[in-house]
Amino acid sequence: LEEQIRRSDRLKTIGQIAAGTAHEIRNPLTAIKGFMQLLNKALTDRSMSKEQKFVGIVLSELERVNELVSEFLLLSKPKEIKRVPLRIGQVLQEILPMIRNEALMYNVTVLYYPKPELLPILADKELLKQVFLNLGKNAIEAMVGGGTLIIRECSHPDEPNKIAVEICDTGTGIEADVLEKVFDPFFTTKSQGTGLGLSVCQRIVHDLGGSIEVSSDVEGTQFTVCLSYASGELEQELKASGGERSPDD
């Protein structure tokens, strides 16, 4: 047991160092990106297209490092979660333009089925956006050559105090042996993947008291995110903030 405690302490320390390092990588990265963008503009003005191509590559690789560091930070040192009343539709509406944009490049059709009568949930909007962006991106990346991405809001079939959001794709599907590992940090089957997207999603959803599940077959994959209304908490929150429920709540 003592050995186990030592081991877990050591892992915690390593985690803290890694998170600190990731944070420190961020600052120079931002500076590099800024100057690269300036360089890019200068090259455009001088019509130096070959050099511009090089800078373009540097910028897109920088974007990859940036993404990795952001996901790593989210995973190792979760921000304090601010839970405020919000509608799931609001969260999805805000990320849809980004999803549709990505879908366009992959020849993917996006179908969104909102359910406006769903009650508000208590959650952190930015974190939830991250969850559905990651799920949407994965779904699109699984549909090389095109397909359909369906985003559906529903009430939970069995639990009346929960909502569910389904993200379905008509992509490659996930083999059973891979399916077990998709939520593992750094697990990826993509040459350019970080393998952190789904572990970040899982972490956030669990921190919000929800659940995330996956099912897959040869026709495609479905991720389901469930979150509670937490209506009692919501009433309290609204009372504390002096707010009132509007008639349509």
Query: Does residue number 199 form part of the binding site for Mg ion (CB under 5 A)?
Result: no
Query: Does residue number 138 form part of the binding site for Mg ion (CB under 5 A)?
Result: yes
Cα-Cα-Cα-Cα dihedral sign, residues 178, 215, 213, 130: positive
- What is the phi/psi pair of residue 62, to 5°? -60, -40
- What is the phi/psi pair of residue 203, to 5°? -60, -50
Residue in 52, 148, 172, 211 binding ligand ADP, rule: CB under 6 A: 172
Residue in 171, 197, 210, 220 binding Mg ion, rule: CB under 5 A: 197
Residue in 56, 89, 114, 195 binding ligand ADP, rule: CB under 6 A: 195
Nearer to Mg ion, 149 or 163 (CB): 149
Edge-first strand listing for the sheet containing 162-169: 108-113, 147-155, 162-169, 220-228, 211-217
Nearer to ligand ADP, 168 or 208 (CB): 168
Inter-axis angle of helices 197-207 and 49-76, to 10 degrees? 40
Residue in 198, 208, 227, 234 binding ligand ADP, rule: CB under 6 A: 198
Query: Does residue number 194 form part of the binding site for ligand ADP (CB under 6 A)?
Result: yes
Task: Quote the CA–CA distance of 47 and 51 in Å, as a whole number.
Answer: 9
Task: Quote the CA–CA distance of 139 and 188 in Å, as a whole number.
Answer: 14
- Compute how many residues bind ligand ADP; rule: CB under 6 A: 22
Contacting positions for ligand ADP (CB under 6 A): 134, 138-139, 142, 169, 171-172, 174, 178, 182, 187-190, 193-199, 221
